[in-house]
Amino acid sequence: MDSTFVVNSYNDGDNIYIGVKDFTRLLNGKLLYDVDRDEYIVKKENLHMKILPESPYYLLNGKIEKIRGDFLRDIDGCLIPVTPNLNRISSIMSKRLVYNKSRNSIDVYNNLYDIMDFDVRKNNDRTVVMFTLSRPVKYKYKKSKNSIKIYFYTKLLNKRPFNKTFRKSLITKVSIYNWKYGKYVVLNVKKGVFIDDVNYSKEAGSLQFVLGGSSSKKYGPMGKGKFTIIIDPGHGGKDSGAIGPNGIMEKTITLRIAKKLQKYLSKDKNFKIYLTRHDDRFVSLKERTKFALKKKANLFVSIHCNASVNRKSKYARGFETYFLSLARTGWERAVAARENASILYESEKEKNNYNTVDYILSDMAQNQSLIESSKLAEAIQNKMAKETNLKDRGVHQAGFYVLRFNYMPAVLVETAFISNSKEEKLLNESWFEDKIAKAIGEGIIDFVKNYEFKIYGRK
């Protein structure tokens, strides 16, 4: 997952500097100043760095080293010359520093690599090759008879995951080489292998190649297998969700839309549909996820109404769709906090089950379902824009507990703002709920036809 900090920088015409305070903050370390010796000391676990201002010298774990340029003094302490020392400082911090020319700032990435991970998976008669990226990376590829060459416009590739062996897949060998603009990966493939699909998702941070072999079926429209969909009406019972200015409750609206969506999707006999609740009752977030896993669901959609608690933003309006990951912006965090607040209604024993969430979230970043979830979110968002006249607020990512699955695409739809009296009124109209249900339903069908079946192919 990409996480960027933009730090203030100072440009003296030759070098770009950052303050020692920013440096310490990014390291998550401690800063001390030794007045007698006039030294800055940055400490973190097994890192001990002593900086001598107005000199190029520093001591790293007791060993003296020299930096290009000088440590300058300023009001706030001292400045570190970053641009001529990007690689050295990146390796000291175990983070990657990138100079951003247009903003004259230093961006700090939590990961040392652009291409963090590589994996090959078998799915029925398809082989899925997956690159996990820490930030958007330009690439191109070439297919020849016995190989696929993927050229990345970056050198920062983590070699380790490429050393695995990929038995039983369509790939016979993987190797990495340098080229003018970075690294390229050669996949040697079995005879008759073709590229069925290439998916690049900036949001999910992944690049995926779906390969078919000589004996692979080409998938057309849906087959005969059942595709299990879980519709999750948000909130219920003692947890009423958000309440609009005229007293309409989120839990009522979400249940009505869920039932309409069920009806809409039931027209397609390929779908097996379950609701996590059928009436006004409390269902814990964990029970909802457990239910989906028990049903071996292929897809999960949670339905909600948005709310803005801030008095100033009572006019906030529109629809947005979320998929699971760490929330990136303040707004995404706020929405996640509100929806996750359902946990407050759960018993103490149940609450204790949530401490593994962080782990699951970090694991998700590497996961196939993330890219699928982002595609599903996009498909629903597109249909919502077509079906309704509401404001399109886009696809977002946030850490929703209810979406924490490993192997199915899962999204959360914030249909409209119940906190906005105009949209609250709409949400209470049957014709409007029909439109929303239809939009979500069409989005799901779109996703299943265009994406899901290509990769998994139903039998």
What's the closest the beta carbon of residue 314 comes to Zn ion, in angstroms?
17
233 binds Zn ion (CB under 5 A): no
What's the closest the beta carbon of residue 334 comes to Zn ion, in angstroms?
12
* Single residue of 77, 205, 236, 241 touching Zn ion by CB under 5 A: 241
Q: Which is nearer to Zn ion, 195 or 343 (CB)?
A: 343
What's the closest the beta carbon of residue 241 comes to Zn ion, in angstroms?
4
Pair of tokens at residue 412: 């959360």
Q: Which is nearer to Zn ion, 260 or 304 (CB)?
A: 304
441 binds Zn ion (CB under 5 A): no
What's the closest the beta carbon of residue 250 comes to Zn ion, in angstroms?
5
Residues 26-65 that bind Zn ion (CB under 5 A): none
Residues 251-310 that bind Zn ion (CB under 5 A): 304
Q: Which is nearer to Zn ion, 283 or 371 (CB)?
A: 283
Q: Are 339 and 412 in contact (CB under 8 A)?
A: yes
What's the closest the beta carbon of residue 281 comes to Zn ion, in angstroms?
16
DSSP result, 389-423: -S-EEEEEEE--GGG--SSS-EEEEEEEETTSHHH
Piece in contact with Zn ion (CB under 5 A), picked from 105-113, 209-217, 232-240, 448-456: 232-240
* Single residue of 234, 236, 441, 457 touching Zn ion by CB under 5 A: 234
Q: Which is nearer to Zn ion, 212 or 234 (CB)?
A: 234
Q: Which is nearer to Zn ion, 239 or 442 (CB)?
A: 239
Gap between the Cα atoms of 9 and 81, Å rounded: 10
Q: Which is nearer to Zn ion, 302 or 373 (CB)?
A: 302
Piece in contact with Zn ion (CB under 5 A), picked from 131-139, 215-223, 234-242, 418-426: 234-242
Which of 114, 333, 303, 276 is closest to 202 using CA atoms?
Answer: 114
Pair of tokens at residue 280: 């006004």
Q: Which is nearer to Zn ion, 19 or 241 (CB)?
A: 241
Q: Which is nearer to Zn ion, 109 or 322 (CB)?
A: 322
Q: Are 161 and 115 in contact (CB under 8 A)?
A: no
Piece in contact with Zn ion (CB under 5 A), picked from 39-47, 233-241, 352-360, 397-405: 233-241
Rg of the chain over Cα atoms, rounded to whole angstroms, equals 26
DSSP H or E segment with residue 288: helix 285-294
Over the window 304 to 343, marking each residue x when it contacts Zn ion by CB under 5 A and - when it does not, the resulting string is: x----------------------------------x----
Strand 63-66 and strand 57-60: the pairing is antiparallel
**Cα-flanking dihedrals φ and ψ of residue 134, to 5°?**
-90, -15
What's the closest the beta carbon of residue 439 comes to Zn ion, in angstroms?
18
Q: Which residue is nearest to Zn ion (CB)?
A: 304
What's the closest the beta carbon of residue 275 comes to Zn ion, in angstroms?
16
Tell me which long-range contacts 282-286 makes (C-beta under 8 A, separation of at least 24).
Answer: 282/236, 282/237, 282/238, 282/239, 282/345, 283/236, 283/237, 284/342, 284/343, 284/345, 284/346, 284/350, 285/340, 285/342, 285/343, 285/346, 285/401, 285/402, 286/346, 286/350, 286/353, 286/354, 286/401
Which residues face 392 on adjacent strands?
319
Q: Which is nearer to Zn ion, 105 or 306 (CB)?
A: 306
Gap between the Cα atoms of 455 and 124, Å rounded: 9
Q: Are 303 and 415 in contact (CB under 8 A)?
A: yes
Can you tell me whether residue 459 is helix, strand or coil? Answer: coil
Q: Give contact residues for Zn ion (rule: CB under 5 A).
A: 234, 241, 304, 339
